[in-house]
Amino acid sequence: MAGEPATMSVEVPMWRALTGYRVLTLAYAIGLFLFAYGDYGRPAVGVAYLGALTAWTAWTFRAVSGAERCTAGFLVADVVMGVAGIALSPVADPGNAVGPTLPSIWVAGSVLGVALKGGWRWGGTAAVVVGVANFVEDGDYSGMMLHNVVLVCLAAITIGYVVEVARASERTLAKALRIEAATRERERLARDIHDSVLQVLAMVQRRGTEIGGEAAELGLLAGAQERALRALVGAAGPGAAEAAPPAEADLRALLAGAVGTGERVTFAGPGGPVLLPAAQVRELTAAVAAALDNVRRHAGETASAWILLEDEPDEVLVTVRDDGPGIPEGRLAAAEAEGRLGAALSIRGRLVELGGSAAWVSVPGQGTEVELRVPKGARV
């Protein structure tokens, strides 16, 4: 996202370290072999294996440069390469004159690669596999061998766990950066609205009052919309993100100001404010506006509408009733099937997202009533 600070994954230096580790431990294994070359009963076996290990390390150099290149197939083959070297050690040294195995500590790099890619569980599993191979090769199950195996297991589990924690932290950071960017964009839009739309609405209200007549009614509507928009901008404007509790808005004021205007729309509600999370208030207001729009569309401009807001202990109930001709039975389902989703999306969809419900009660010739219920503390 534009404007986000560049970040480097904590895994990157770990993969770089693993790449260097494989090269250095390969050189170490070759040096040990050359130092004890004369003690091997079949040195040709060691030469062949270390030559293959050198070619494998060079060929797979890029495979351990990052998690995206390090595939599960490569990791399995890498562990097999190390275990094969352990298994070939008694063949190259039948008299057990040389202590270290042919791959020596190179094989620990395979285990660490599994831990970096798959986490501590897979890393521990790979360490156990390599440990069992070492025990079988050692034969006498010495204390030093057990010590080395336990160290490799602990290293794999620790590194795998650290990587898992780092990945979770990076996901949390990325989410925080997205929220921060969205907050900045919201604040920018709030400023733009304040500098343009609100000023226009205020001017329309002022000029409509001066002109009078039908323009005065238009001015009243513009004033109501300005008050409603100012309330929403204030709820989502600068500083809202820093507040500990979610921003709240007065549902009663918004319904009375935004949709409870006009000669044929009557609003009734509690005497005091009805405070709810701003996002919840916004969705409820939009649903009520959609219900009033349906009244104008289907009941006609001469139909009257009543909005009743009830603030109950556990929920908020908003009822929109009109005196129109009513809705024929099955009409809502038919409209939804035809792709006309005003009621389904604009009203019911919003309420479902809030954890509430929307219900229609209609009697032909006696009007329609829409009940919008939202439990307090619902998700927003």
How far from chain centre, in Å, is Cα 188?
A: 24
pTM of this prediction?
0.47
Which helix H or strand E contains 248, and what residues bound it? strand 248-250
What is the DSSP track for 43-71?
HHHHHHHHHHHHHHHHHTTGGGS-TTT--
Range in 203-217, 223-237, 278-292 with the lowest mean pLDDT:
223-237
Q: How many CB atoms lie within 10 A of CB 280?
A: 25
Whole-Å CA distances, 62 to 73, 102, 114: 14, 24, 15
Q: How many CB atoms lie within 10 A of CB 226?
A: 21
Q: How many CB atoms lie within 10 A of CB 89?
A: 25
Of 158-167, 224-233, 293-302, give the range with the top mean pLDDT: 158-167
So what's the pLDDT on residue 373? 92
Phi, psi angle pair for 254, to nearest 5°: -70, -45
Tell me the percentage of the chain whose pLDDT exceeds 70. 76
So what's the pLDDT on residue 247? 73
Model confidence pLDDT, tens digit, residues 299-357:
777 788 889 999 998 899 999 998 888 776 656 555 555 544 455 556 888 888 888 89
Tell the residue number behind the tokens 């307090």, with chain if given. Answer: 376
Q: How many CB atoms lie within 10 A of CB 200?
A: 11
- Which residues, in sequence order, are bridge partners of residue 322? 305
Sequence-distant (6+) residues with CB within 8 A of 306 are 265, 266, 267, 268, 319, 320, 321, 322
Sequence-distant (6+) residues with CB within 8 A of 221 are 261, 262
pLDDT category at 249 given cuts 50, 70, 90 is: confident
Range in 30-34, 76-80, 110-114, 198-202 with the lowest mean pLDDT:
198-202
Rounded Cα–Cα distance for residues 59 and 158 (Å): 28
Q: What is the mean pLDDT of residues 348-373?
A: 85
- Is residue 380 scored above 60 in pLDDT? no
Phi, psi angle pair for 320, to nearest 5°: -115, 115
- Dihedral angle sign, alpha carbons of residues 220, 221, 222, 225: positive
Are 28 and 54 a contacting pair, CB within 8 Å? no
Rounded Cα–Cα distance for residues 330 and 377 (Å): 33
Which two tokens mark 80? 């097999």
- Is residue 188 scored above 70 in pLDDT? no
* Of residues 252, 335, 260, the one with CA closest to residue 297: 335
So what's the pLDDT on residue 374? 92
What is the DSSP track for 181-204?
HHHHHHHHHHHHHHHTHHHHHHHH
Are 348 and 302 a contacting pair, CB within 8 Å? no
- Which residues, in sequence order, are bridge partners of residue 245? none
pLDDT category at 6 given cuts 50, 70, 90 is: very low
